[in-house]
Chains A and B, each alone.
Chain A
Amino acid sequence: MGSDPQDRPGVRHELGVSVSGPEHSLSIQSLHVRYGRGEPVLSGASIALAPKEIVGLIGASGAGKSTLLRAVQRLVEPESGEILLDGVDLTKLARTELRDARRRLGMIFQEHALIERLSVMENVLTGTLGRTGFWQSARRRFAPEDVTEAFGLLDRVGLTGLEDSRCDELSGGQKQRVGIARALIQHPDVLLVDEPTASLDPATSVRIMTLITEICLERGLAALINLHDVPLARRFCPRIVGLKEGEVVFDGPASALDDEILRRVYGDDAVGAPAGHQGSPAGTEGSGGTDGENILGR
């Protein structure tokens, strides 16, 4: 997976996006979502992100974490509730304004969601489609400043020189990095990140999380990050929100997470008894832990 890109201070400043720019906040208020006529998936979930805040969203499989992020983008239409981006309610926007709002919400996906048959560069540049005219993009005539920025971002995420590789030739970690670059070139105000480490090994997971949180700090972005992996969430997200069956059952600092709360979020099997199926890869934290079976990992 190449060298870690941290030790290249030169690139960061070229990337242009001002660190001390306007501050952006996202507030999700009593969101109700269901697919078709099915059971409600979210029933009144509320989460507010302050500017520059990094929040980890944890919850069992099926709790509705992905649905929450998709509803914020209105990829699935919420039944009710408000989604305020800098005070503007996204649920009320008409098509054109919604497109612009989507552009401001950078999204990184669980299974990277790249177009496998296209090159790394093309995939990154699809992040500019919100501001590039149809014919320019269709003929792959992207604005030179976007191309320059794309090269800079590829450097930043550690994919220097891979711009012409086809995405289906990349490793899982590399694909996730392409996804990160694609989200960043949108010039997002807030990042929505859906299990960025879902299919990665523990070491790569840590590298990807490091990259994402560093970038948030550099650019002053607020981020909502879905994570399966509790130790990883504790390590990288100062604030944690626990989702269970579509409702927020915990919202507080990572340090407040204890066995009792994990039971509340994941159910009684989560703590103490062998809970292999909860699937946090051992050793992610690197520290082992006193009670090894605890998915808290400490």
Chain B
Amino acid sequence: MAAESDQQAQQWRPPRMIESATTRKLVLGGLALYGLLAFFTVEIDPTRIAEGLTRAAEFFGGWLRPDFVTRWTDIRAGLLESVAMTAVATVVALALSIPLGLGAARNLVPGPIYTASRAVLAVSRAFHEIIVAILFVAMFGFGPFAGVVTLIVGSVGFLGKLLAEAVEEVDPAPLEALTASGATWGSRVVFGVLPQVMPRMWGLALYRLDINFRESAVIGLVGAGGIGATLTTAFSRYEFESVSAILILIIGMVFVAEVISGRLRQRLL
């Protein structure tokens, strides 16, 4: 094509998202105006900011003097509960997400199964973990069971969707070769699909393990057990020294998880 446009110098720019200059300015101007108006609807109360600052000072004071001892039994129980919740939820979610992920891959299943699996995945990803946790706490009462179910729902959505995407991207040639040699659907999945997606899947599961541990601290805030529950208790008692200790432990745990999953990843991939 370059050969056709003899000597004439040509200009080229990437296509714009909005072609018309006027429309573009209107859209940008509108967005700016909205931002400004939105800012002024937020009430700003100087006295409350001042109070907040005092409490912040107290809080950061506590932060500098972490207290692991006073509430150690509670903290330990919370941590162990979180670890257990994380492990159980990730394993169960992995087991559930493999069939769902395969079912949600367009290149592997007929239309109705695809649609049904996508729907299940979409529902499980529709709400933020906190909302799901509130729901399950209302259903099953306070405690880690509601937490585990929450984490499973979130993880299935996450792992299932990403697995389905990985499956849809597999090299189709070996699958076709398997079909051509008379292999059944199951054998095609085991030999043609899984070897191509499993390394990715292990990576995602390890990543999700990480996320689930942090999530378990968050959903504890709404009563779904784990270290989050311990954290809320400490907060509501204004025991900032314990709060600080818990936060430090969470950071430590996430760090340890990171190191372990890094090691495992090297092994598995």
Which residues of A come within 8 Å of B, CB atoms? 70, 73, 75, 99-103, 105-107, 109, 111, 113-118, 122, 126-127, 129-132, 134, 137-138, 179, 182-183, 186
Contact = CB atoms under 8 A, between A and B. Distances in A.
Nearest to B192: A115
Interface stretch (B60-68, B84-92, B169-177, B233-241): B169-177
A226 B181 CA distance: 19
B54 interface: no
Contact of A111 (B173, B178, B180): B173
B186 interface: yes
A109 B182 contact: no
Nearest to A107: B180
Nearest to B182: A130
Nearest to A188: B181
A111 B196 CA distance: 17
Interface residues of B, number: 20
Interface string B178-190: 1111111011001
Residue among B176, B191, B195 facing the most chain A CB atoms (10 A cut-off): B191
Given A117-B196, A130-B182, A134-B186, A75 B176 contact: yes
Nearest to A99: B182
A133 B178 CA distance: 14
A106 B182 CA distance: 10
Residue among A75, A106, A126 facing the most chain B CB atoms (10 A cut-off): A126
Given A117-B199, A137-B190, A179-B177, 15 more contacts: A75-B176, A99-B183, A99-B184, A102-B181, A102-B182, A103-B182, A109-B176, A113-B177, A118-B195, A126-B183, A126-B191, A129-B182, A129-B183, A132-B187, A134-B186
A186 B174 contact: no
B181 A103 contact: yes
Give the 8 A-B CB pairs with smallest separation, nearest first. A130-B182, A103-B182, A129-B183, A113-B173, A113-B177, A102-B182, A107-B180, A129-B187
A103 B187 CA distance: 14
Nearest to B184: A134
Contact of B181 (A116, A122, A186): A186
A137 B195 CA distance: 14
